Amino acid sequence: MGKTITLYIFACLLLGSGVQAQDRIDSLLKATVPNDEHPGVIIGVVKSGELIYHGFRGSMNRAYQVPFNDSTVFGLASVTKQFTAAGIGVLVHQGRLSVEDDIRVWVPEMKDYGETIRIKHLLNHTSGIRNHNVLLDLSGFDYEHRGYTNAMIQELMFQQEGINNAPGEKMLYSNTNYVLLALIIERASGLDYHQFLKREIFNPLGMKDSFIQSDLHRIIENVAVPHYIDNDQFKTPKSLTLCVGAGGMGSTVEDLANWSQVLLAPSHPMSYLGSFLTEQDQLPNGQIMANARGLFIADYQGYKTIHHGGRDLGMRSQFICIPQLDLAVIVYTNSEDINANALSYEVIDCFINPAQKNTEEQTSTFTHSGNFDSFIGTYQELNSDLRMNTFEEQDTLKAISSFGREPNTLVAVSETNFQRSGSASVHYNFAPDPITQADLLVDFGGATFYFERIELNPQPTTQLKDFTGTFHSKELNTTYQLHIEEGQLILQIPNRSPMALKEGQKDEFGANRRTRYTFHRNENGEVVSFEVASEGTVKGILFYR
């Protein structure tokens, strides 16, 4: 069992007592991690500026049976984004740039897409810039034998001919935004990204064990090793990738405890960064964005939370602050089968006394008219083949995605807005949005997914030969092969296993992998090209026969 730190003076602030909250978190650790040989979890809790709990259980390196300890270093993955955004905040504070700057002032290599993409659009994921992770997947990038760098991603982005949406129109999460922000930091400061963050953020905050990865060959002492399960065996991922800005940061519980005060303590000398990071912009439809700058803003149990999670192969991380409770929770796991996000909220529950629950909590008491006819049907994610089927069962509206195992019960908040039963942070809004051209918006705690109502082709084509052949994309510099095998249309992408495609809407195909292939015909009805859209964050990639 890991070390825990409790301070008696904070006992009155905890649920019942400090010992009771500590015991509950200890129990969570034991219930989450089977034994000390299993990859494990670190939990840190900051209350009123003090690290009052630092617990851990499990092995940080299963190969050598090394347990976690007080100073274990771990990767943050996308939790890094708030530090990249903070780097921009420092430069704004110093007067070196503005969030209103056209990004082409700093990155003139980007193509002119006809509308100005500003730095603020990168910060809040409304730029429309395609997500490089998806582009690499679509190109058939050989992850097993190759890695990629910021320079490679920049080169890839500089050759893109289009974007997903008008800048500022809607939020589409894209790691590329933060790779470009890292480049802007370097060009505005004259320093390497990792040097700038060390000088301007890590050193002033006493984050002595925090760093941005800058050398894959560097030996990092006391570091947690990620683990994933393959064929019932634990494995550790090996990566040749060195790409930072959207990820690439390592830290410790103690360092993140120091960082939390930037967001929680109004008198902190760097609290201006807290204000910068939590500024929420407004979308054209009037909606205040839940995604701020490298952080999400959402309600939990009637309290405002500031949070961001991270995930990569074999690891999960979560950082969350609740200003009204002067509370921060840090969770890291080096096993991807442990849900760090869910665990963080279970820890928060240890500090919320039901008898003292925030009186501002909004509980749905709305009584719906019961007419669900206009909501029932088949929806498909914009720029993806992910489907959502909605139906009525026993006077209740339910929804299930093509990736789901069981339907979710939806509870009405208004005539067109529903929340998922048992998960109030997930909302389904059936009010059509003419700006985003979506008929259904599904909000997962700040990350929005856009769906359109579709009609499946009632008579799927039998002329699969129309779609066969060799197709090439200049933007991805890759070639796809399509052929027929045992009566199915088979897609072959370089370095990928063959995929059987099934028709959805007429001349649109997918393999239930969040990628849509839309074929185009000439005036003679002959297929001449197809367009690829994927994961909601890439669209308009053209392949020509």
- Could you report the per-residue pLDDT of 182-219, keeping only the tens digit for each? 999 999 999 999 999 999 999 999 999 999 999 999 99
Q: Which residues of 263-272 are buried (b: 16+ CB within 10 A; e: fewer)?
A: bbbeebebee
Shared-domain flag, residues 300 and 165: yes
Q: Does residue 363 carry a pLDDT above 60?
A: no
Shared-domain flag, residues 280 and 378: no
Q: Where residue 461 falls among pLDDT bands split at 50, 70, 90? A: confident
Shared-domain flag, residues 257 and 321: yes
Which domain, by its residues, includes 200? 75-356
Coil vs helix vs strand at 353:
coil
Taking the model in full, what pTM does it have?
0.91
The CATH number given to whatever domain includes residue 112 is 3.40.710.10
DSSP letters for 411-480: EESSSSEEEETTEEEEEEE-S-BTTTTBSEEEEETTEEEEEEE----SS--S-GGGG-EEEEETTTTEEE
- Could you report the per-residue pLDDT of 372-384, keeping only the tens digit for each? 999 999 999 999 9
Shared-domain flag, residues 495 and 420: no
Please state, in angstroms and as integers, the Cα–Cα distance from residue 114 to each residue in 32, 68, 104, 167, 476, following that order. 51, 51, 12, 10, 22
Residue 528 lies in a domain: yes
* Residue bearing tokens 């997903």: 164
Residue 322 lies in a domain: yes
pLDDT the model gives residue 11: 37
Shared-domain flag, residues 407 and 526: no
pLDDT the model gives residue 446: 75
Shared-domain flag, residues 269 and 125: yes
In terms of C-beta density within 10 A (0-12 exposed, 13-18 middle, 19 or more buried), how is residue 102 classed? middle
Query: What number is the average pLDDT over the span 97-106?
Result: 98
Q: Where residue 3 falls among pLDDT bands split at 50, 70, 90? A: very low
Shared-domain flag, residues 180 and 89: yes
Among candidate residues 356, 390, 423, the one where a domain is terminated: 356
Q: How many residues does the chain have?
A: 545
Among candidate residues 430, 453, 476, the one where a domain is terminated: 453
Shared-domain flag, residues 254 and 335: yes
Q: Does residue 6 carry a pLDDT above 60?
A: no
The CATH number given to whatever domain includes residue 531 is 2.40.128.50
Q: Average model confidence (pLDDT) for the chain?
A: 92
Please state, in angstroms and as integers, the Cα–Cα distance from residue 414 to each residue in 356, 371, 436, 439, 544, following that order. 27, 12, 21, 16, 46
Q: Does residue 361 carry a pLDDT above 60?
A: no
Shared-domain flag, residues 422 and 480: no
Query: What number is the average pLDDT over the span 43-69?
Result: 95
Q: Does residue 55 carry a pLDDT above 80?
A: yes
Q: Does residue 19 carry a pLDDT above 50?
A: yes
Residue 393 lies in a domain: yes
Query: What number is the average pLDDT over the span 331-349?
Result: 94
Q: Does residue 295 carry a pLDDT above 50?
A: yes
Establish how many alpha carbons lie within 13 A of residue 148's alpha carbon, considering only the half-sphere containing its beta carbon: 17
pLDDT the model gives residue 1: 42
Q: In what order do the strands lie in the sheet with 296-300?
A: 50-57, 41-47, 327-333, 315-322, 303-312, 296-300
How many domains does one find in the chain?
A: 3
Q: Does residue 293 carry a pLDDT above 70?
A: yes
Among candidate residues 453, 475, 506, the one where a domain is terminated: 453
Distance, CA of 73 to CA of 412 (rounded, Å): 44
Q: Where residue 364 falls among pLDDT bands split at 50, 70, 90? A: low
Q: Does residue 515 carry a pLDDT above 70?
A: yes
Q: Does residue 2 carry a pLDDT above 60?
A: no
Q: Does residue 481 carry a pLDDT above 60?
A: yes
Shared-domain flag, residues 449 and 468: no
Please state, in angstroms and as integers, the Cα–Cα distance from residue 499 to each residue in 485, 492, 494, following that order. 11, 7, 12
Shared-domain flag, residues 348 and 254: yes
